[in-house]
Amino acid sequence: MLEPKTAQLLHVEDDNICLMGMARAFVAAKISNPIVFAHDGIEALEILRGTNGRTRLSHPFLILLDLNMPRMNGIEFLQVIRKDDELKKSIVFVLTTSGADKDKAAAYTLGVAGYILKTNPGNAYLETTTLLDTYLRVVELPA
């Protein structure tokens, strides 16, 4: 029997303070999954597709996605990956400051696995790492 492959995480976030906070929360929660960072949807697509000199992210992977970003925001990113045959089944959790109903509705319509508000970033990071730790231990991801 093959050992299950460790899922990689792609954290798409334009705020470096949020990126560092989430990285610290992963260390504190002792989650050792490899994490790749992208600063917007365009950079995330380059990583997922292995284009523009980027190393392609291998399966299995999970995406943490901010909505409010320059160049390509989270909703635009979701629209693109859901039309891409290789990426359309990607597991995405939104991690954002936007509590707008239209953003929640758009994200869920585009198939996100969850919508997490960063109303209190410190708590949101810890709660998110707890959620993801459980998710990654319990849920079987496709190779």
What is the mean pLDDT of the segment spanning 21-43? 88
User: Cα(82)–Cα(68) distance, rounded to whole angstroms?
Assistant: 19
The verdict on residue 45 lying in a domain is: yes
Query: Can you list the alpha helix ranges (DSSP code H) found in the chain?
Result: 16-28, 41-49, 74-83, 101-109, 121-138
- Return phi, psi of residue 60, to 5°: -80, 155
92 part of a folded domain: yes
Residue with the two structure tokens 């990607």? 90
Q: What is the number of structural domains in the chain?
A: 1
Does 12 fall in a domain? no
Asked if residue 25 is part of any domain, the answer here is yes
The mean per-residue pLDDT over the stretch 86-112 comes to 94
Is 53 part of any domain? yes
Give pLDDT tens digits for 49-82.
999 999 999 888 999 999 999 999 999 999 999 9
Q: Please give the pLDDT value at position 56.
A: 93
Q: Output 24-27 pairs: Cβ under 8 A, ≥24 positions apart.
A: 24/125, 25/125, 25/126, 25/128, 25/129, 26/129
Model pLDDT for residues 113-122, shown as the tens digit of each residue: 999 988 776 6
* 125 domain-assigned: no
| pLDDT for 40 beyond 90 | yes
Domain that holds residue 49: 20-65+85-99+114-119
pTM for this prediction: 0.90
Whole-angstrom distance, CA of residue 101 vs CA of residue 42: 25
pLDDT band, very low/low/confident/very high, at 1 (cuts 50, 70, 90): very low
Query: Is 41 contained in some domain?
Result: yes
Classified as helix, coil or strand, 62 is strand
- pLDDT of the residue at 122: 66
Residue 4: is its pLDDT beyond 60? Answer: no
Closest CA to 67 of 96, 110, 101, 99: 96
Please, what is the Cα angle at 12 between 8 and 15, to 5 degrees? 130
**128 lies in some domain:** no
